[in-house]
């Protein structure tokens, strides 16, 4: 006999329990009612213990939940999320603990956010194909090992536009600069970096993309006036591959936060002055550096990890470019040098700076800019040929990895810098 759908289930359970007392074949009785023997024994035991009351359905919900949160706790979490709507459960947990002590588990906070509809879905980004770049091998293990720089990109604010310059320390995640610029030219960006160098000292390496003013696709080794200046200060260059923002992924992730939390406010079409825009940037930068916990830092804030560089910068000091044992030539305004009464065109990005010349044969003279070998003078043809330096694995310093080479012949590494100072008659060369 199958279950009779017209009869109340409770009546069938009672009927089964009475028959089970005298049934000779319990398994057959269970099959008749369409239940398992396990369920049959459970009903029989409950009926014998409590009578018909024992056969009533019981809620499967636990009697108590150790993860149950009070209304007060939930309200606190919601308030934190509303103030920082793009922060995740782990950051909210750290903020809660900072303010009220013991915090709910990360999973409990996630459930609260989901129930309240406060969880945002993220888009997956496709990886781009690799290409060449000018790189410096550096292990980021301390503040100022590597700074990354980029422009966020233009967005509208009322009738105006903003394209903030962002500079970030890779180790501490500390945002060194978030600056509204009317123009992203060499002069404006260099002024920003001069202030940063004076305030925080010099980094070992600066990572950028291949766009102006950080690089020039038409110039020798992609050097721009700005990146050439960095080299003269003893700073290595590390460029991302063209079309590969994931090479500077951590910086781009910070830009995403900036877009969601600051740029979104620009849609209000409110007229703001440059000073007002900068004030908004500084407010967000302070929160990012001093309040926002970071998982990669053990939930510390960047300001708790960052410290200034021991490599100081003084604008009035002579810039050191050591070319010990080499002939020194100044790059002229049009980007050329003279050697043995002949002109050799290098790059206007190097104008005003000294380069070192090292004769390696009767027909060939290697050209160095700082520690970077940028090519050689081919004396028989009276031409400069750019040859990208190749380095062995593990060898320190800048190296160029790209398909755009001159002769393709590897050059030796540059000799160590001398401590002697080379006089620079034009300490602030400009781009062509």
Q: 126-170 pLDDT, tens per residue?
A: 433 333 356 777 789 999 999 999 988 766 665 567 788 999 999
Q: Parallel, antiparallel, or unpaired for β 236-239 and 205-208?
A: parallel
Instruction: Count the domains in the chain.
Output: 4
Average model confidence (pLDDT) for the chain? 78
Residue 403 lies in a domain: yes
Domain that holds residue 26: 9-55
Pick the more confident residue, 313 or 244: 313
pLDDT score of 160: 65
In a shared domain, residues 236 and 166: yes
Residue 416 lies in a domain: yes
Domain holding 231: CATH number?
3.30.420.10
Judge whether 26 lies within some domain.
Answer: yes
- In a shared domain, residues 248 and 281: yes
Q: What is the pLDDT of residue 380?
A: 92
Note whether 46 and 75 are same-domain residues.
Answer: no
CA distances to 82, 86, 112 from 105, in Å: 19, 19, 11
Query: What mean pLDDT do residues 240-266 have?
Result: 75
Question: Under a CB-based contact definition with an 8 Å cutoff, are residues 43 and 55 in contact?
Answer: yes
pLDDT of 406 strictly over 50: no
What are the structure tokens assigned to 133, written together? 């770049």
Q: Is residue 64 part of a domain?
A: no
Which tens digit of pLDDT belongs to each residue from 319-372? 667 788 999 999 999 999 999 999 999 988 899 999 999 999 999 999 998 878
Do 75 and 50 share a structural domain? Answer: no
Domain termination residue (choose one: 255, 279, 304) = 304
What's residue 163's pLDDT? 80
Residue with tokens 């590494």: 413
Q: Taking 80 as the threshold, does the pLDDT of residue 417 lie above it?
A: no
Q: Inform me whether the pLDDT recorded for 25 exceeds 80.
A: yes
Helix (H) or strand (E) holding 45: helix 37-50
Instruction: Pull the structure tokens for residue 289.
Output: 């550096």
For residue 390, being part of any structural domain is answered with: yes
- If pLDDT is split at 50, 70 and 90, which confidence band does 390 have? very low
- Judged against a pLDDT cut of 60, whether residue 3 lies above it is answered with no
Residues 192 and 225 in one domain: yes
Q: What b/e readout covers 160-188, taking b as 16+ CB neighbours within 10 angstroms?
A: eebebbbbbbbbbbbbbbbbbbeebebee
What is the pLDDT averaged over residues 29-33? 85
Same domain (yes/no): 268, 372: no
Considering the domain architecture, whether residues 142 and 254 belong to the same structural domain is answered as yes
Residues 148 and 237 in one domain: yes
> 191 and 143, same structural domain?
yes
| Residues 277/283/286/292 CA torsion (nearest 10 deg) | -120
The dihedral sign for the CA sequence 79, 84, 85, 91: negative
Residues 194 and 327 in one domain: no
Residue 32 lies in a domain: yes
Q: What does the pLDDT read at residue 250?
A: 81
412 found inside a domain: yes
Between 383 and 411, the more confident residue is: 383
- Cα angle for residues 76, 77, 82 (degrees, 5° grid): 100
Are residues 245 and 202 part of one domain?
yes
Residue 309 has pLDDT above 90, yes or no: yes
User: Do 261 and 139 share a structural domain?
Assistant: yes
Alpha-carbon torsion (70, 72, 74, 80), positive or negative: negative
Instruction: Tell me, yes or no, whether 331 lies in a domain.
Output: yes
């Amino acid at each position: 006999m199958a279950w009779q759908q017209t009869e109340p289930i409770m009546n069938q359970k009672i009927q089964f329990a009475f028959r089970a007392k005298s049934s000779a074949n319990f398994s057959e009785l269970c099959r008749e009612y369409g239940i398992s023997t396990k369920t049959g024994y459970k009903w029989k035991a409950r009926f014998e213990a409590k009578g018909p009351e024992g056969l009533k359905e019981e809620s499967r919900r636990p009697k108590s939940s150790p993860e149950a949160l009070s209304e007060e706790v939930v309200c606190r979490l919601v308030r934190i999320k509303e103030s920082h709507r793009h922060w995740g459960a782990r950051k909210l947990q750290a903020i809660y603990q900072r303010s009220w002590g013991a915090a709910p588990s990360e999973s409990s906070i996630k459930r609260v956010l989901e129930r309240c509809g406060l969880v945002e879905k993220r888009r997956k980004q496709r990886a781009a194909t690799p290409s060449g770049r000018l790189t410096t091998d550096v292990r980021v293990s301390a503040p100022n090992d590597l700074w990354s720089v980029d422009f966020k990109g233009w967005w509208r604010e009322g009738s105006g536009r903003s394209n903030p310059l962002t500079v970030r320390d890779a180790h501490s995640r500390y945002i060194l600069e978030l600056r509204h610029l009317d123009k992203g030219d060499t002069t404006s960006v260099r002024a920003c970096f001069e202030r940063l160098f004076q305030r925080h000292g010099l980094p070992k390496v600066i990572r950028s993309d291949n766009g102006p003013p950080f690089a020039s696709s038409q110039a020798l080794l992609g050097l721009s006036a700005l990146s050439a200046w960095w080299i003269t200060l003893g700073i290595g260059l590390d460029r991302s591959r063209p079309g590969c923002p994931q090479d500077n992924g951590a910086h781009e992730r910070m830009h995403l936060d900036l877009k969601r939390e600051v740029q979104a406010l620009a849609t209000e079409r409110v007229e703001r002055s440059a000073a007002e825009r900068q004030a908004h940037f500084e407010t967000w930068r302070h929160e990012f550096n001093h309040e926002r916990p970071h998982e990669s830092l053990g939930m510390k804030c960047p300001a708790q990890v960052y410290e200034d560089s021991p490599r100081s910068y003084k604008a009035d000091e002579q810039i050191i470019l050591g070319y010990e044992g080499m002939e020194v030539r100044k790059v002229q305004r049009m980007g050329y040098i003279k050697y043995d009464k002949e002109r050799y065109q290098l790059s206007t990005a190097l104008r005003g700076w000294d380069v070192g010349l090292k004769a390696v044969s009767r027909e060939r003279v290697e050209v160095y800019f700082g520690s970077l070998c940028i090519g050689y003078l081919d004396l028989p043809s009276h031409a400069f040929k750019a040859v990208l330096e190749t380095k062995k694995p593990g060898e320190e310093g800048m190296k160029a990895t790209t398909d755009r080479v001159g002769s393709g012949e590897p050059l030796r590494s540059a000799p160590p810098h001398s401590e002697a100072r080379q006089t620079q008659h034009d300490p602030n060369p400009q781009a062509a």
